[in-house]
């Protein structure tokens, strides 16, 4: 049989099935194999908060989308080119996202009347014409898998569970993925259970062979490796990169890392990852609650460790009193908030950027703390190092704002050269810093460094520097309790000033405005922060493909904001701020710079998609041209543009 | 999920074994900070502060290796008055903060100063978990059975029916017995003492400091402003003999004028009660075993404290057992990982970052 090999520059595949079907693992393996092949990629896992929602229902559908390409890409992609649906519910839950003409591979095994009903179908979509606009491959993957692994004598249930590997094998064949990494992976994973190992490897191979030998699949696809900067790569999730950043920060500062944490989605994987790396002097403490997690981290920081706590929005609420104490004590402390949909318990497994104002202001009194936000999964590594640099240098709690999509999403990471990582100097106080009345040395725990306004970090065990700190207002210099009105005024302003001076250490803001150097810069600037970097970048690229000018700035530092930002904002006629909240950064920019920042918001628990976001930007550009914002052909439900 | 046997717990070591000692002779003055002490006149806190400043020199530790961490409340001002390292933290959280410090710094003697509201109300969760983990801390729980700093509301140890500003018709909730609570959490060192008995206070504090693991000492502390006389039954020279049930490890529990009273165990329920020794004979008395692994007897003894106005209460060390401490074991896991895999260095970091699946783009 001659096969047609079609060249593609990029593909988006979504694996969808029941929570128990192993879709996250399948997606993850496809991603690893794709990374090994050398494509650029970006992923979006999407799963329910329930561990095992009722099987076969819409509530139980779990999916994993991977976007890979022969060029550099920024997002997990808007709409899948291929949907793999392992049951009726997975089909129904995802069909709305699948564009006409796309390929759908369906496991027909569960399309019984009962299971169709569970998914809310009254008729069988495979036979009633629902799918005529798609290229459908309806295959009983389950039965094929059970047949293939018969020889291993597994129960029918165990045998059918290998169907995800069958599907993976089939897709691997279609897209020319290497098979060795997955075979190796399965061998290690099921090493202790040889029958399961053999069954899974066999299912995987059979899936591959099924593609090879069945005429149904007439085409295979080739996506050439991407031309990426040279170097050594791995694939990494945001949570793993953050954990590695903490370990690296410990090494670069020479401080033992102490993580005090209480399990919470989507932050727990950082606790899991760190707990595996004790040889780097990392201590992980699973506390009795969120408050104890941050309290223990602060206690460790008092003792001279790199104190860290990891959490999500609800946990930040509980920690806020301790953060206020850390602001008063002026000790280094890192709080990693892996944001999720809120308020309250909200959407534990979905993403949102709605804790920005909580991070800024969510404490009693004037209690400023620096905020750093990573922009992509791999960037979580660098952002963590930057947050630790600020915490240690300025003796302050720092909030690192990641989110669910960064935490679980992954991308290729050009591995840093460890020798190039900047050192972080804890600069512990070791000697008196003042003269006592009797002429001897004395120690003033709140005497500040002139440049950084940081106070000395004198840890217990240091002779001669014994001092008492606490949450009551401190007298300037001595740190004694003080109720003096002028002193309080001074200290409040000084704590703010200490955060403000961090701005001096920030590099110039990168403005992506290709025409600017030739004097033909854009009139409109898009400003974002955090995980929206990819989607905004992709939307900006789309707009530029229309030969329209648009500039992009993506903020890493939310507090303090970069010193040149006001001047940059003032250069543009229009500033648009897309956020996965109701306009929190826009509020800050408006308040700080009196700039008419226009908010574009989405709080669906899902990341922005590039196409609708590009439409929003186009609408703004038309408005700048004096035309109505919305063209009929572009109207999209998620693309609200201010009139 | 599986469980593993933890290797070689560190036992039979003094709680201060890793804390460097001082060559200088210290005096009480070395431990007094330059801050003016600001409790109300006659407050029991003064006596405890004096006792602590008086006995710390005997420990012979380097002052800079001692840390007092407190929460919020009258007694939580304690750290300001001691010339050691100290932190006056936030309400109820001192055990959590001290836990992080103790895990990372075995070379410190870490003390927690807390009160009945701080430890048992807002901070109850941290207290029981510190006890459960057995972190190497010494917790001084000043129990005055009232909220002093907020000016006189009832506390979680106030007797039912307590009339206060917030309970003009009498409080309707039952009080905690701090010793019962600590024993319920299987605290490895649980004691009670009283501010007016300096010798006993000092003796108990010394034992608590050298216990490896979490020691908790409930200190009956009089608040002359808002709850004066709450512990008078144990202070009055005439009544004291009959109200203080003195606990001594290895000795029969016997008290009262001429040792006329004692404690026996009900053979059916296991609960303890006070009897006339003349009625039962000395051999029927319970012999106090603070070192018993099972905390049941200690718990039964703790129930002899009145829930209402205090007329009788056991004073002394209820339980003192050796068990692995959380912080020793946690540090041991780090040390073991470093021993078997090698301490993490920059080559190790590079290998960690790379993981097992890398590819190279030329
Ligand atoms: S209110 Fe009571 S406990 Fe507080 S300082 Fe005054 S006497 Fe002592």
pLDDT of residue A638: 46
B355 touching A (Cβ < 8 Å) = yes
What does the mean pLDDT of chain B come to?
A: 95
Question: In chain A, pLDDT over 90 holds for what percent of residues?
Answer: 87
Distance from B330 to chain A by nearest Cα, in Å? 7
Structure tokens at A406: 């960064």
In angstroms, what separates the C-alpha of A128 from chain B's closest C-alpha? 45
Give the Cα separation of A407 and A268 in Å (integer). 10
Q: Are A468 and B88 in contact (CB under 8 A)?
A: yes
Reference B359, options A234, A185, A71; nearest CA is A234
pLDDT value for B8? 53
Which residue pairs, CB below 8 angstroms and at least 24 apart, start in B264-272? B265/B297, B265/B300, B270/B296, B270/B300, B271/B300, B271/B303, B272/B300, B272/B301, B272/B303, B272/B304
Mean pLDDT of the region A185-194:
90
Look at residue A631 in the predicted model and tell me its pLDDT: 67
- Chain B partners of A463 at a C-beta cutoff of 8 Å? 62, 64
| Interior angle at CA A419, CA A417 and CA A424, nearest 5 | 115
Rounded Cα distance, A382 and A370, in Å: 16
The predicted pLDDT at position A637 comes to 46
Q: Which atom of ligand 1 is nearest to the CA of B44?
A: 8
B51-70 pLDDT, tens per residue? Answer: 999 999 999 999 999 999 99
Taking residues A273-277, what's their average pLDDT?
A: 98
| pLDDT in the model for residue A640 | 46
A643 pLDDT more than 80: no
pLDDT for residue B247 is more than 90: yes
**pTM for this entry:** 0.92
Q: How many CB atoms lie within 10 A of CB A454?
A: 19
pLDDT tens digits, one per residue of A243-260? 999 999 999 999 999 999
The pLDDT value recorded for residue B13 is 84
Nearest to A45 by CA among A68, A72, A15, A73: A15
At residue A392, the pLDDT reads: 98
- Interval B318-351: pLDDT, tens: 999 999 999 999 999 999 999 999 999 999 999 9
Mean pLDDT over B137-145 rounds to 98
Examine the pLDDT at A219 and tell me if it is beyond 90.
no
pLDDT at A2: 59
Residue pair A10/A73 in contact (Cβ under 8 Å)? The answer is yes
Using CB atoms, pick whichever of B79, B88, B352 lies closest to residue A247. Answer: B352
Q: Do A280 and B352 touch (CB under 8 A)?
A: yes
Summarised one tens digit per residue, pLDDT across range A510-526 is 999 999 988 889 999 99
pLDDT band at residue B12 under the 50/70/90 scheme: low
Average the pLDDT over B15-34 and give the result.
94
What's the pLDDT at B360?
86
- For the CA atoms of B265, B269, B270, B273, what is the dihedral angle to 10 degrees? -40
- Residue A632 pLDDT level (bands cut at 50, 70, 90): low
Say which range, A629-638, B14-23, B93-102, has the weakest mean pLDDT: A629-638
Nearest to B358 among A233, A256, A468 (CB): A233
Mean pLDDT across chain A, nearest whole number?
94
Q: For the segment B254-309, what is each residue's pLDDT rounded down to a tens digit?
A: 999 999 999 999 999 999 999 999 999 999 999 999 999 999 999 999 999 998 89
Residue-level pLDDT at A576 = 98
Distance from CA of A328 to the nearest CA of B (A): 10
Residue nearest to atom 6 of ligand 1 (CA): B40
Mean pLDDT, residues A239-244 taken together = 98
pLDDT band at B1 (very low <50, low <70, confident <90, very high): low
User: Strand, coil or helix: what is A57?
Assistant: coil
Residue ranges around ligand 1 (CB below 6 Å) = B 39-40, 43, 45, 74, 144, 148, 223-226
Considering only CB atoms, which chain B residues are within 8 Å of A277? 344, 352
Does residue A4 surpass a pLDDT of 90?
no
| Å between A194 CA and nearest CA of chain B | 20
For the residues A464-491, what does the mean pLDDT come to?
97
From chain A, the residues in CB contact with B80 under 8 A are 468, 470, 481
**Whole-complex ipTM:** 0.97
Q: Between chains, do A277 and B344 touch, taking CB under 8 Å as contact?
A: yes
Please judge whether B360 and A181 are an interchain contact, meaning their C-beta atoms are less than 8 angstroms apart. no
Query: What are the E-state strand segments in A421-463?
Result: 434-435, 441-442
A34-86 pLDDT, tens per residue? 988 889 999 999 988 887 788 899 999 999 999 999 998 999 999 999 999 99
pLDDT tens digits along A159-179: 999 999 999 999 999 999 999
d(CA B101, CA A299): 5
Q: Does B73 touch chain A (CB under 8 A)?
A: no
* pLDDT value for A50: 81
The pLDDT assigned to B362 comes to: 79
| pLDDT at A378 > cutoff 60 | yes
3-state secondary structure chain B: CCCCCCCCCCCCCCCCCCCCECCCCCCHHHHECCCCCCCCCCCHHHHHHHHHHHHHHHHCECHHHEEEEECCCCHHHHHHHECCEEEECCCCCHHHHHHHHHHHCCCCEEEEEEEHHHHHHHCHHHHHHHHHHCCCEEEEEEECCCECCCCCECCCCCCCCCCECCECCCCCCCCCCHHHHHHHCCCCEEEEEECCCHHHHHHHHHHHHHCCCEEEEEEECCCCCCCCCCCHHHCCCCCHHHHEEEECCCCECEECHHHCEEEEECCCCCCEEEEEHHHHCHHHCCECCCCCCCCHHHHHHHCCCCCCCCCCEEEEEEEECCCCCHHHHHHHHHHHHHHHHCCCCHHHHHHHHHCCCEEEEC
Q: Which residues of A touch B355 (CB under 8 A)?
A: 234, 236
Beta carbons of A247 and B352 less than 8 angstroms apart: yes
- Taking only the tens place, the pLDDT of each residue in B158-185 is 999 999 999 999 999 999 999 999 999 9
Can you list the domains of chain A with their CATH numbers?
4-222 (3.40.920.10), 233-420 (3.40.50.970), 516-624 (3.40.50.920)
Residues of A in contact with B333 (CB under 8 A): 278
pLDDT digits (tens, 9 = 90+) for A32-44: 999 888 899 999 9
Choose the closest CB to A471 out of B33, B89, B103.
B89
The pLDDT score that the predictor gives to residue B38 is 92
Q: Is the pLDDT score of A641 beyond 50?
A: no
pLDDT in tens, A118-150: 999 999 999 998 999 999 999 999 999 999 999
């Amino acid at each position: 049989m001659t096969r047609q090999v079609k060249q593609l520059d990029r593909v988006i595949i979504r694996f969808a099935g029941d929570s128990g079907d192993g879709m996250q693992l399948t997606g993850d393996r496809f991603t690893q194999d794709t990374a090994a092949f050398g494509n650029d990629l970006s992923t979006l896992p999407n799963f329910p908060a329930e561990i095992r929602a009722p099987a076969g229902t819409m509530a139980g559908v779990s999916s994993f989308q991977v976007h890979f390409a022969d060029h550099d890409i920024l997002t997990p992609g808007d709409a899948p080119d291929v949907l793999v649906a392992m049951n009726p519910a997975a089909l129904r839950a995802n069909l709305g996202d699948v564009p006409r003409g796309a390929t759908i591979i369906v496991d027909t095994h569960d399309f019984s009347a009962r299971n169709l009903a569970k998914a809310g179908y009254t008729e069988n979509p495979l036979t009633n014409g629902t799918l005529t606009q798609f290229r459908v491959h309806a295959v009983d993957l389950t039965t094929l898998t059970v047949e293939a692994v018969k020889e291993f004598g597994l129960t029918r249930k165990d045998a059918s569970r290998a169907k995800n590997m069958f599907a993976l094998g089939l897709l691997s064949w279609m897209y020319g993925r290497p098979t060795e990494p997955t075979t190796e992976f399965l061998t290690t994973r099921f090493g202790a259970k040889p029958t399961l190992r053999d069954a899974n490897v066999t299912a995987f191979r059979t899936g591959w062979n099924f593609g090879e030998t069945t005429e149904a699949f007439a085409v295979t696809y080739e996506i050439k490796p991407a031309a990426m900067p040279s170097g050594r790569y791995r694939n990494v999730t945001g949570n793993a990169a953050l954990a590695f950043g903490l370990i690296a920060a410990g090494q670069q500062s020479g401080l033992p890392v102490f993580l005090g944490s209480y399990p919470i989605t989507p932050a727990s994987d950082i606790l899991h990852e760190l707990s595996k790396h004790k040889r780097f002097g990392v201590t992980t403490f699973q506390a009795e609650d969120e408050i104890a997690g941050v309290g223990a981290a602060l206690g460790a920081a008092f003792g001279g460790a790199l104190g860290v706590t990891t959490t999500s929005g609800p946990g930040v609420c509980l920690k806020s009193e301790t953060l206020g104490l850390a602001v008063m004590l002026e000790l280094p402390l890192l709080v990693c908030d892996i944001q999720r949909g809120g308020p309250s318990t909200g959407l534990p497994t979905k993403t949102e950027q709605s804790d920005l104002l909580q991070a800024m202001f969510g404490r009693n009194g004037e209690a400023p703390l620096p905020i750093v936000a990573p922009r992509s999964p791999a960037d979580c590594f660098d952002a963590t190092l930057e947050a630790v640099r600020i915490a240690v240098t300025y003796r302050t709690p720092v909030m690192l704002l990641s989110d669910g999509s960064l935490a679980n999403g992954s991308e290729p990471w050009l591995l840093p050269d460890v020798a190039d990582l900047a050192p972080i100097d804890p600069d512990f106080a070791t000697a008196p810093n003042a003269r006592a009345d009797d002429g001897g040395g004395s120690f003033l725990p709140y005497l500040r460094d002139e440049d950084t306004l940081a106070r000395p970090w004198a840890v217990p065990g240091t002779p001669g520097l014994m001092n008492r700190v606490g949450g009551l207002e401190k007298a300037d210099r001595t740190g004694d309790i003080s109720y003096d009105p002028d002193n309080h005024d001074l200290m409040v302003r000084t704590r703010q000033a200490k955060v403000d001076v961090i701005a001096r250490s920030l590099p110039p803001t990168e403005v992506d405005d290709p025409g600017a150097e030739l004097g033909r810069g854009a009139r409109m600037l898009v400003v974002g922060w955090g995980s929206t970097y990819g989607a905004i970048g992709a939307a900006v690229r789309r707009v530029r493909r229309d030969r329209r000018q648009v500039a992009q700035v993506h903020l890493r530092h939310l507090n303090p904001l970069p010193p040149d930002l006001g001047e940059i904002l003032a250069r543009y006629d229009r500033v648009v701020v897309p956020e996965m909240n109701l306009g929190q950064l826009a509020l800050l920019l408006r308040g700080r710079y009196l700039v008419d920042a226009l908010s574009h918001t989405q709080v669906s628990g899902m990341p922005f998609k590039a196409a609708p976001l590009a439409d929003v930007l186009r609408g703004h550009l038309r408005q700048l041209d004096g035309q109505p914002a919305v063209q009929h052909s572009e109207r999209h439900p998620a693309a609200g543009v201010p009139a | 999920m599986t469980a593993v046997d933890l290797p070689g717990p560190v036992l039979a070591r003094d709680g201060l074994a890793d804390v460097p000692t001082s060559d200088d002779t210290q005096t009480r003055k070395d431990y007094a900070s330059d801050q003016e002490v600001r409790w109300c006149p006659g407050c029991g806190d003064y006596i405890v502060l004096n006792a602590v400043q008086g006995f710390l020199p005997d420990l012979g530790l380097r002052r800079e290796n001692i840390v007092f961490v407190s929460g919020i409340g009258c007694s939580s001002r304690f750290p300001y008055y001691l010339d050691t390292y100290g932190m006056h933290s936030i309400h109820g959280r001192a055990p959590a903060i001290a836990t992080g410090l103790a895990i990372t710094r075995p070379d410190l003697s870490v003390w927690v100063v807390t009160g009945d509201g701080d430890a048992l109300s807002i901070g109850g969760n941290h207290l029981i978990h510190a006890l459960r983990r057995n972190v190497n801390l010494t917790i001084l729980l000043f129990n005055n059975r009232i909220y002093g700093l907020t000016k006189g509301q009832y506390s979680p140890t106030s007797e039912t029916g307590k009339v206060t500003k917030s309970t003009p018709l009498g409080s309707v909730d039952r009080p905690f017995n701090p010793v019962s609570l600590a024993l319920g959490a299987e605290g490895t060192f649980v004691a009670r003492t009283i501010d007016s008995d300096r010798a006993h206070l000092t003796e108990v504090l010394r034992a608590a400091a050298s216990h490896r693991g979490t020691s908790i000492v409930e200190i009956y502390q009089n608040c002359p402003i808002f709850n004066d006389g709450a512990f008078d039954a144990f202070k009055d020279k005439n009544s004291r003999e009959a109200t203080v049930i003195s606990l001594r490890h290895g000795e029969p529990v016997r008290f009262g004028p001429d040792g006329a009273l004692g404690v026996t165990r009900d053979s059916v329920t296991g609960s303890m009660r006070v009897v006339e020794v003349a009625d039962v004979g000395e051999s029927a008395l319970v012999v106090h075993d603070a070192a018993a692994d099972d905390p049941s007897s200690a718990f039964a003894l703790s129930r002899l404290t009145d829930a209402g106005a205090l007329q009788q209460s056991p004073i002394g060390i209820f339980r003192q057992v050796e068990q692995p401490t959380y912080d020793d074991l946690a540090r041991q896991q780090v040390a073991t990982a470093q021993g078997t895999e090698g301490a993490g260095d920059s080559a190790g970091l590079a290998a960690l970052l790379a993981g097992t699946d890398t590819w190279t783009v030329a």
